[in-house]
Structure 1
Amino acid sequence: MGASRLPWKVIIISLFYSLCAAHHRYKGLYPSAFRVKRGVALLVNPIFQNSVKDVDLLYEILLNGLQFEDELGQFSVRDKELASLRKTHKLEVICEDIIPKTVPQVRRLTFALAQDMGVLRTEDFERTVLTLVYTANKIAQASTAHQKDAWAECFISLYEAIKHDLTIR
């Protein structure tokens, strides 16, 4: 009797482990998206783009000037009207608290992106594009050739990951 139940237990355990692995992969690219940092539960795993209107707003913000001002990546929008929007606050949380801010963190991200050959989820694609914007900003702010080269390498790896994702969609 115990032997006949063994295969079911093995199936259930293997299913559990595969679900855990899938959940780990789900959180793997941007694990900080699942940590509440600002005391607002609604901002756990935030996503900026939920509609075409949001995409247009993001484009307008990027076009008018999105700035990362210091080593911590303090986010600001040059246009005061755009900066005052509630939706921009969500973008601020994503940019300041979720996307990677150091070369090693971006390299870990690009390694994980290269390992996972599937289509990115919407929020991961959005965060990867925002990380690309951040790396471009860091290239412009770099004071040494070594820093510029390191950030440029990150930029190219992110670009390749985004290009790959767009070609398999």
Structure 2
Amino acid sequence: MCARISMTQWWALLAVVYLSIHWAATQHHRKALYPSAHRIRRGTHTLINPTFQRSVEDVNLLFEILLAGMQIGDEEHATVIPDEELASLRSVEKLEVICEDVLPKSLPEIRRLAAELAQRRRPLGWQDFERTVLTLVYATQTVAKITNQHQRDLWTDALVQLFKAVQRDLKPS
């Protein structure tokens, strides 16, 4: 027995198919570059999806912290800010959370990020731009520590890809 579909049912079915395709495409474009930003382990809701830079003063503070010799820790070590006065600032807590809990630290994670950034056609949001620059800093610090030439070459390639992504993002449209 073949059931006949009315014109209203046909349009409803077509609308459902269209909406499901649209939803899937939207979810693909909203894929988080930094998924761990939404899963902070420290347990405070104020640190979910943390961002350090909210003003020009914050940008200047980050620049000062980086110039002071901040070392972004890996999975085993904490982030170190050698200047005690800068390290004691309350706003620096968010920067430490970003560096320790949000940034990718392994080569496969950083290569995944670089590949996603290479495919991206839209400019980065300011949160993702901040995290990409900090990941670039982390990768640079890591390359400087590696003695194995093969590992150094792999990390350098990832570093170059991140740099190109930042450079592409800064170019005017």
Q: Same fold (TM over 0.5)?
A: yes
Higher Rg: 2
Q: Could you say if the C-alpha distance between residues 5 and 56 of structure 1 is closer, same or farther in structure 2, counting changes exceeding 3 Å? A: farther
Q: Could you say if the C-alpha distance between residues 152 and 12 of structure 1 is closer, same or farther in structure 2, counting changes exceeding 3 Å? A: same
Q: Distance in 1 between matches of 2:91 and 2:76?
A: 21
Corresponding residue of 2:104: 100
* SS at structure 1 position matched to 2:71: strand
Corresponding residue of 2:130: 126
Match of 1:141 among 138, 145, 157: 145
Q: Return 5+ residue gaps in structure 1 as ranges.
A: none
Q: How many Å apart are 1:38 and its aligned residue?
A: 0.5
* SS at structure 1 position matched to 2:121: coil
1:32-82 Cα shifts (integer Å, max 9, x gaps)? 111131101111111111110110010010010111344535211111111
Q: Distance in 1 between matches of 2:18 and 2:154?
A: 41
Q: Return 5+ residue gaps in structure 2 as ranges.
A: none
More helix by percentage: 1
Match of 1:90 among 94, 110, 114: 94
The letter for the 1-side match of 2:133 is V
Corresponding residue of 2:165: 161
Identity, in percent, stands at 45
Count of residue pairs the alignment pairs up: 169
Q: Distance in 1 between matches of 2:77 and 2:10?
A: 53
1:34-113 mapped onto 2 (5 Å cutoff)? 34-72=38-76, 74-113=78-117
TM-score, structure 1 normalization = 0.89
Corresponding residue of 2:35: 31
The Cα RMSD (Å) is: 2.0
1:73/1:101 contact within 8 Å kept? no
